[in-house]
């Protein structure tokens, strides 16, 4: 029997909770996996918009914050931000329940200030990201909880295997 690594077991439920399309997941998963590694558990995955109004995917793990962007014409995925949580300074976020999103600002280790609008599927996802950000940046040794989905147990082993194999291809 084949077992899935920690990244796969937590990334797939996080994408289900974020209601990301399978096409988007397939485009971004290789870059996100390369940044996080197989042993890092994913807390939140969400669509976001960076400067220049580029469509992006944000992933928050126990150890990292990763943002990948797509080029508008060819849909090529590139890395926008990849940083350990302790390398980020002046992290601020503002939940906006009326718009179901969070305005997130971080300063990377190189001194560049990044501002993003994180769009979330619903208010419960917004509050889950808010809680994950509190655990990551406002507690001394915060432990960020991995994504847990009521839908995830309904995913069959074959569907998980398909998602992992299509991502590896």
pTM: 0.79
Main-chain phi, psi angles of 167, to 5 degrees: -70, -35
The CATH number that applies at residue 75 is: 2.30.29.30
pLDDT exceeds cutoff 50 at 159: no
Domain count, the chain: 1
Q: How many CB atoms lie within 10 A of CB 135?
A: 17
C-alpha to C-alpha distance for 23 and 87, rounded to whole angstroms = 31
**82 within domain boundaries:** yes
Average pLDDT of the chain?
82
pLDDT value of position 150: 44
| Residue 50, Cβ density class (10 Å: 0-12 exposed, 13-18 middle, ≥19 buried) | middle
What percentage of the chain reaches a pLDDT higher than 90?
47
**120 within domain boundaries:** yes
Domain hosting residue 139, numbered range: 6-168
**1 within domain boundaries:** no
C-alpha to C-alpha distance for 137 and 115, rounded to whole angstroms = 16
Contact 17, 147 (CB under 8 A): yes
Q: Tens digit of pLDDT for each residue in 39-54?
A: 888 999 999 998 776 7
**133 within domain boundaries:** yes
pLDDT value of position 53: 66
**114 within domain boundaries:** yes
C-alpha to C-alpha distance for 95 and 89, rounded to whole angstroms = 19
Contact 57, 80 (CB under 8 A): no
Q: Tens digit of pLDDT for each residue in 49-96?
A: 987 767 899 999 988 999 999 888 888 899 999 999 989 999 999 999
The SS3 call for residue 156 is coil
Higher-confidence position of 138 and 139: 138
Residues 6+ away with beta carbon under 8 Å from 37: 7
**26 within domain boundaries:** yes
Contact 93, 133 (CB under 8 A): yes
pLDDT value of position 165: 53
């Amino acid at each position: 029997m084949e077992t899935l690594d920690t990244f796969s077991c937590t990334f797939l439920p996080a994408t289900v909770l974020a209601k990301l399309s399978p096409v988007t997941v397939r485009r971004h998963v290789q870059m996100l996996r390369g940044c996080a590694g197989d042993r890092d558990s994913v807390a939140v995955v969400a669509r976001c918009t960076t400067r220049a109004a580029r469509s992006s995917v944000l992933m928050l793990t126990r150890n990292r914050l990763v943002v990948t962007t797509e080029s508008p014409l060819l849909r090529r995925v590139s890395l926008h931000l990849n940083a350990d949580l302790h390398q980020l300074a002046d992290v601020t976020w503002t939940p906006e329940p009326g718009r179901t999103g969070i305005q997130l600002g971080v300063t990377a280790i190189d001194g560049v200030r990044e501002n993003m609008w994180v769009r979330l599927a619903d208010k419960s996802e917004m509050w889950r990201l808010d809680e994950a950000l509190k655990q990551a940046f406002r507690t001394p040794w915060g432990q960020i909880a991995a994504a847990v989905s009521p839908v995830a147990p309904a995913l069959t082993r074959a569907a998980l295997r398909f998602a992992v194999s299509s991502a590896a291809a």
